[in-house]
Structure 1
């Protein structure tokens, strides 16, 4: 049994337990390519839209980790757009100040907050040694036209100070409708600055995507630089004998497919990263007690993991929210 095999760290500190890890999906790789394209071609803004709970927030976090590794001098921020009963200037700039690490985001008048946003970003860019800053606005469909105008003002203020701000508006499909409405209203200055590129974000859509993600568990080591991949940490004897999670890609996809059809869910199967990760975590944790040379999870364990990962329940919940009244 693998519990007797010594581990390099206390199992309670492992990222699979704390939830503090990110695995790349094909959609995340596509998003990272988009960010790279915007940097290369000096494109100032892009829209990334997709259904709720498909993994957009995790994608932002993963892309920011990659950016920090690939572009160590570049600053990036993750602003969580808040639902507000009224769209006032003060809360908008306070929210941005919080995202960029201001110690007292609610202090001062609206003009003072607005100036402080530009100042803080300029200071961060000077510290990092790069004139380019990236801002990811999560749940951006909550913005209205005024907020887009204020965001454009921030762009302009920084531009005058030779700082390039790239904005990525990430949210639900309504973002696309907002872009169309702004184009119809001839608000071309907002569209041309903040909404140039478009990317439809998606979940895990076939067995190949499943294999890409499972391979992440087989390859990602913790602690970094050791031989302890996530898979090996939980089933070291099976892993050392040749088992890899990626071997089960087709089985796991078919199991999700069966759950999708059994629940009579509409549309094609598209697995959100949250549900997928939970299914893999359940399978690995339950496999730990059965680990042995030659072990591999049975189909019934994958069925158990998919049943308890929340996929069907979350799809039903989204269906209720999106259903017409």
Structure 2
């Protein structure tokens, strides 16, 4: 039984158990390429938009991890735009101060907060040894025109101090409508600074996307630099005998497709990263006790994993479901 085999780390510390891992989807790879392209061509702002619950927040975390590895001198922040009944300057700057790690984000007057925000970013850039800073604004459709103006002010203030701020507005499809409204209203300064590029973010849309993601589990090692891929950690005997999750890409896609149709969900199947990852985790954990040379999960286990992945439940929760008379 594979549980008796020696593992390089305590299984309770594995990222699959702690949830502290990110697998790249094709959409996340496109997001990362957009960020790198903006850095290369000095494009200071972009919109990344998509339906709710398809993994945009997780994608920000993945992109930041990758940036930290590939561009260690670039500073990046993740600001979560809050829902506010009224759009006031104080809470806006407190939110950004919290994102940049200020110890008392609510303290001081609005002008003091503005100055402190520039100072904190300048200090971080100096520590990192580069004048390049990235700000990811999550749920950015919650911003209104005033907040975009204040964000532009932050850009200008940092610009005067030789710091280049790149802003990535991540949110729902309403972001596109906001961009159009600003263009119609002649607010070209906001659009030219914050909304130049656009990327439609999507979930996992076909068996090829599934294969790309499953390959991540087959290739990603923990601890890093060892032979212990995520798949091998849970199925060492099957893995060493040649089994790979990627070979089950069609099985997993078909299981999601069957669940999608059975629940009479509208539209084409698009799997959110959260549901996808949960299904894979269920299969790996449930297969652990069955591990043997020649073992591979059967179709019924993949179907069971999809049923418990939260996919159908989350689609019902967002209300995008056909109602039959």
TM-score surpassing 0.5?
Answer: yes
In structure 2, the residue matched to 1:221 is 221
In structure 2, the residue matched to 1:256 is 256
CA apart distance, 1:197: 0.3
Equivalent residue of 2:168, what SS? strand
In structure 1, the residue matched to 2:267 is 267
In structure 1, the residue matched to 2:121 is 121
Task: Say if 2:264 and 2:321, in contact at 8 Å, map to a contact too.
Answer: no
Q: Deviations over 1:220-249 (max 9, x none)?
A: 001111111000010110001000000100
In structure 2, the residue matched to 1:313 is 313
* Alignment length (residue pairs): 323
Instruction: Give the distance between the partners of 1:126 and 1:234, measured in 2 at CA.
Output: 43
Instruction: Give the distance between the partners of 1:33 and 1:163, measured in 2 at CA.
Output: 22
The list of structure 1 runs, each at least 4 consecutive aligned residues, that deviate by more than 6 angstroms after superposition, is none
CA apart distance, 1:317: 1.1
Runs (5+) with no aligned partner, structure 1: none
Task: Say if 2:315 and 2:321, in contact at 8 Å, map to a contact too.
Answer: no
CA apart distance, 1:176: 0.6
Equivalent residue of 2:282, what SS? helix
- The answer on 1:179 being equivalent to 2:179 is yes
Instruction: Give the distance between the partners of 1:54 and 1:128, measured in 2 at CA.
Output: 32
Equivalent residue of 2:199, what SS? strand
Q: TM-score with structure 2 length normalisation? A: 0.98
- The answer on 1:110 being equivalent to 2:81 is no
* 1:1-16 map, 5 Å: 1-16=1-16
Instruction: Give the distance between the partners of 1:199 and 1:247, measured in 2 at CA.
Output: 30
Equivalent residue of 1:107, what SS? coil
In structure 2, the residue matched to 1:79 is 79
- The answer on 1:53 being equivalent to 2:53 is yes
Task: Say if 2:266 and 2:321, in contact at 8 Å, map to a contact too.
Answer: no
Instruction: Give the distance between the partners of 2:91 and 2:10, measured in 1 at CA.
Output: 43
Instruction: Give the distance between the partners of 2:43 and 2:319, measured in 1 at CA.
Output: 35
Instruction: Give the distance between the partners of 1:149 and 1:134, measured in 2 at CA.
Output: 18
Q: Deviations over 1:274-302 (max 9, x none)?
A: 00000000000000011000000010000
Instruction: Give the distance between the partners of 1:174 and 1:199, measured in 2 at CA.
Output: 13
In structure 2, the residue matched to 1:200 is 200
Q: Deviations over 1:119-148 (max 9, x none)?
A: 111111111110110000000001011100
Q: TM-score with structure 1 length normalisation? A: 0.98
In structure 2, the residue matched to 1:170 is 170
Instruction: Give the distance between the partners of 2:44 and 2:301, measured in 1 at CA.
Output: 47
CA apart distance, 1:320: 5.5
* 1:9-24 map, 5 Å: 9-24=9-24
Q: Deviations over 1:152-193 (max 9, x none)?
A: 000000011111000000000011111111111111110010
Instruction: Give the distance between the partners of 2:80 and 2:272, measured in 1 at CA.
Output: 20
In structure 2, the residue matched to 1:283 is 283
Task: Say if 2:265 and 2:320, in contact at 8 Å, map to a contact too.
Answer: no
Name the Cα RMSD after superposition.
1.2
CA apart distance, 1:319: 1.9
- The answer on 1:153 being equivalent to 2:161 is no
Instruction: Give the distance between the partners of 1:218 and 1:319, measured in 2 at CA.
Output: 35
In structure 1, the residue matched to 2:97 is 97
